[in-house]
Chain A
Amino acid sequence: MCSLALFPPPLYSMNNVVCSLKPHSRQESSSKSAFRDHCETLYTRSAGAWRDAGLSGLLNEIANSSAEVPKWLGVSSSCVLALLRWVSSFHSSLFPHLTLSSEEMTAEFSQVLDWSDCAVRGFAWHPHTQKCAVALSDDSIKIYNPKSATTPTLKHRLQRSVAALQWKPLCASALAVACHNCLLVWHVDPTSLSTRPSSGCAQVLSHPGHSPVTSVAWSPNGPLLVSASPRDTALLVWDVAVESCVPLHRVGGGGVTYLSWSPDGSRVLAATPSSLFRVWETRMWTCERWPSLKGRCQSGCWSPDGSRLLFTVQGETVIYALTFTDNPGVPLMMSGGPKAATVVADLSETTLNTPDGDIMVGGEIQSLAWDPRGERLAVHVKGRPAMIAVFKTQISPAFKLLPCGFVQGEAGTEPRLMQFNPNYQHGAQLTVCWSNGKITHVPFCFMSAGNPQPGLGGSPSFPLTQGRPADYNNQTLYTELIS
């Protein structure tokens, strides 16, 4: 286990720009302020308040318009309101994240860095074809397909503040979108020539109390979809075809923020806003608790065989690993699971010497991504400037991490979001969304076999990437053998 100091210094270089998107300047707030006040009856206003903000809104409205209501009603509603506030303050002192507004909550728990002012709010590669979906800050989703000339734009009345999106595996057309207060599952026919599919193509899945939805994950081999909301303590498991859901309640945590389904479909990582995360086993849906972290689990990713989980914790600069012994068919029962997490990499701030002067790298980790072959691990580091550190990984016979390099964009830009392309033939391809609205692909070409040889393994060989001295290739950051 070692730090970023072993990494080759980054060089500034241009990547191949796929598409460029202008950031939108629209403010995401209620449209109420845009309209002039006009006089409504108390009844109309109360009904509106009830619809918009529920019971507390109604009470607030009644308490505020004390001139129009009988005195006892005004007094009693302000009393009830005070009581409600007192109770909710007690509740939110236990779970501080509940004081956030929905937008802030999505921004806080999203995998995107600075979600609220980012032009690209979500990105998803199709698992089987070269097709990707991009969620923009104006709440529309565009689908890019190199084989067709049309780029369908998906818009829906309920599609607000998109936090995550994912294509359904083993299906050509279904795209799940985590929205403000519901889940949308779009069915976009790939052969259709329509550029603006109607909202009839979308299934709306909503459940009371499940808002905002910050994460979705499809089961890799089945029809199930799990969704998470930081306000809802239950993890919802949807059977999308019949639009029914089963809530899985467990005590503790105060919500679910991030979900990741292991590629072999046997386990699901569920992070909560407090210092606790769970690993669900998907056969009988029992879970393991992992308490006593320093902070909440920020991000996690699974190795391709589902046996190893890497995760990061908010406020720390290290990557932890958990190993699960593979015993499919047998319920987890705490026996197949590991006993403790091990630290595999430290990305604390270090200074690297470059020809242009010293630069600082490292810091807190925003998200992790592991390529589908298990050979490259991309780590999105929050520091100033934010950048992506790439590790070479080896899973069998022993888990190894080796330094590979940094991915940086144009001067003054930061990476916001990244994902590996699951259909890249020649190695791994990392797609990065930048703060200036550009989306670039970073290919890593290598031979996929056992030990990377120094000559072949010296990744990006394309002209667009950073040059990489060969002597760094064999320095092992972490192996299971020495730790």
Chain B
Amino acid sequence: MAWSVLLLLPTTALFVLLSRFSLFHPILWMSECLSLLTSASAIFSFILLCGVVLMVGFFNLEYYTVVPSIACSKIALLGQVLHPRQFVHSLVHCIMGVVVAWCCAFTIGGRYRSLGHPCTQDESSGPEMCLNEYHLVLLLAGAFIGYSHSLVGVVYNMNYVSFHTMQQYKYLRFKGALPLVVKASAVQALYCLRSFLLLYFFMGYAPRAWICKTLDLSINSSIHSLDSVSSLLDLSLLYHLWISGTFLLLTWYITVLLFRIFVTEVHITPLTPYNASIRPTAFLALQDLALLSQHSPSRRLEVFSLSQPGGHPHIWTALSKECLSLLSDLTERLVAHHDTVATNGRAKSQSTGSNKRSTTSSEGSGSYNALSLSLKNAAFRKCSDFVPYFITPQGALSPGFSSIQSPHVMRRGPKLWSASTGEGQPRGHTWLILPMDYFLTHCCLSLQLPEASSQALFADSQVHIWALQGLSHLVAASFSEDQYGIVQTTLPTILSTLLLLQEAVDRHFKLPHTSSKPGHCSCSMGDDSYKTLRFALRSTLKTAVYRITATFGGHLQ
């Protein structure tokens, strides 16, 4: 947040330079800009802008999510837009848009300077205050852009924070993303401006009349009103509107970008119990697991170690249990989804067949080491006694899940949205799902968005991806690093879970409503990686199975 406030300074300076740009008087231009930047009023508006940026940052913090909300139908989307929480968001952004636009108007100066200006209507009545329509247009444009920012944020899930496969330093990530942000804000401002001008052309008289009435200003009849084609196509006006819109969006987008970068930073999670309350902690813990399993032999050693008195692999047991429960959870969800989609009884028989297969496979590979089996039983028995001391599903790895999105809620959410199941309860403590939508979804099945149910099913798959990566890397590393053979005990379970999931994912991709290739989204600033998470999951799953089988090779037979 501090960084975005600091970055506001060069952005504002740039805005001042660009807004007063005049090609033919460079020296005058520069000196004017310098004097403006150092004046007291400029500092006041700068403080105002800082307040706005802090507000935007606060809203980012309040509204962001790591599991995107995916509306399965257009009605549901409408429901999201009209939700009270979202309404507050829009309203505040609207007001902040006006504030920024006022600062812009103030900075540009000239004819935009103030809302009223003295004029003489006719000789008899003397001077009175008239409405300065240029100022009004600028303010309204700010409000419109602020509102559309909030609206577009909902439609394109701008509050969704995604995690990148590649780790990069924060500065480099910011540097890489900055040109894109500038381009995105310029283009977005252009689109917003087009819509705004159309709106103003048709509806412009209403706010003008209202303002005149409330503030007791009169309309200068000697000047043409601005809602005509010729006056709206004034190049200088267009340029100033566009540059103000770009400035507004740029400052906000930079805040969003910095926020995303700082939130998704890798944290090293200790392999001991700890308390956490913020939302992405579970995500960060799993990300850390995936990374440690890949890059850090010393921390892997910690996972493979035995507890000091007792000699039990509690860390590994808790880790694998947590990951496997996540994965089997996903499998269940997929199978349930498939069952509801398939109308005949074929899905049922297939799932029983796969169950049979999994038991045979676990028997087949489980019997190769009697010692490991006995160890496994001992570990399971002892595990419950030592729960408070080590990583447990409730303790370290999933505090986020238990506090914010318990597995039950997560499982229920997509069912609700798939619109074909009858049951489901709205989540009381998040704004993502509304009771209203629940009814609306059932009313209007015909308005279903394609692929949305599939996207919703895999909305939180980033967790599963990391669980898969972490598990498979740990298992592969255990081939050479696991001195006590503790991984072997769970290897059959891991393999059968992975294969069951593989089967479920394969079947899901054969459903008619799921495309087999990731589509491309032209949306500028919204992160659309949640749309492609299922493809990432599929390829990670395949890679994980191959990694384990390629490492153990003939030993699995």
Contacts and interface: CB of A to CB of B under 8 A. Distances in A.
In this complex, the member of A237, A246, A248 whose beta carbon has the largest number of chain B beta carbons within 10 angstroms is A246
A249 B176 contact: yes
A381 to B, nearest CB: 35
B296 A241 contact: no
B176 A224 contact: no
A239 B165 contact: yes
A242 B543 contact: no
Contacts of A203: 517
A286 B168 CA distance: 8
Contact of A223 (B165, B294, B529): B165
Nearest to A187: B516
Interface string B267-309: 0000000000000000000000000001111110000000000
B294 A243 contact: no
B167 A283 contact: yes
B297 A243 contact: no
Contact of A246 (B164, B294, B535): B164
A274 to B, nearest CB: 22
A237 B166 contact: yes
A47 interface: no
Interface in B390-448: none
B172 interface: yes
B83 interface: no
Interface residues of A, number: 26
B297 A242 contact: no
Contact of B529 (A242, A248, A329): A242
Interface in B505-557: 517-518, 520, 529, 532-533, 535-536, 538-540, 542-543, 546-547, 550
A16 interface: no
B374 to A, nearest CB: 33
A328 interface: yes
B165 A243 contact: no
A286 B164 CA distance: 16
A209 interface: no
A240 B169 contact: no
Classify the interface of chain B: helix, strand, loop or mixed: helix
Contact of B536 (A170, A171, A221, A242): A242
A243 B532 CA distance: 9
A284 B165 contact: no
A73 B172 CA distance: 43
A171 B542 contact: yes
B454 to A, nearest CB: 14
B535 A244 contact: no
A285 interface: yes
Given A224-B166, A284-B168, A170 B518 contact: no
B176 A284 contact: no
Interface string A209-222: 00000000000011
Contact of A244 (B176, B296, B529, B538): B529
B547 A328 contact: no
A241 B166 contact: no
A247 interface: yes
A242 B169 contact: no
Which bracket fits the contact residues of B? 20 to 34
B166 A328 contact: no
A242 B535 contact: yes
A283 B294 CA distance: 10
Interface string A313-351: 000000000000000110000000000000000000000
A329 B536 contact: no
A328 to B, nearest CB: 5
A246 B175 CA distance: 12
Interface string B146-174: 00000000000000000011111100100
B550 A221 contact: no
B540 A243 contact: no
A239 B538 CA distance: 13
Nearest to B531: A242
A286 B169 contact: yes
Given A221-B294, A247-B176, A283-B167, A242 B547 contact: no
Contact of A242 (B294, B532, B542, B550): B532
Nearest to A286: B169
Contacts of B169: 284, 286
A170 B34 CA distance: 60
A171 B535 contact: no
A241 B535 contact: yes
A45 interface: no
A29 B540 CA distance: 41
Contact of B296 (A171, A240, A329): A329
Contacts of A286: 169, 172
Contacts of A221: 294, 473, 547
A196 interface: no
B547 to A, nearest CB: 5
Sorted nearest first, the 6 A-B pairs with minimum C-beta distance are: A242-B532, A241-B539, A329-B296, A170-B546, A241-B536, A329-B295
22 contacts: A170-B547, A170-B550, A171-B546, A203-B517, A222-B165, A222-B543, A223-B540, A241-B536, A242-B518, A242-B529, A243-B518, A243-B520, A244-B532, A246-B166, A246-B176, A247-B176, A285-B166, A285-B167, A285-B172, A286-B169, A286-B172, A329-B299
Interface of B: 164-169, 172, 176, 294-299, 473, 517-518, 520, 529, 532-533, 535-536, 538-540, 542-543, 546-547, 550
Given A172-B546, A246-B164, A283-B167, 7 more contacts: A171-B539, A171-B546, A221-B294, A223-B540, A223-B543, A283-B295, A284-B167
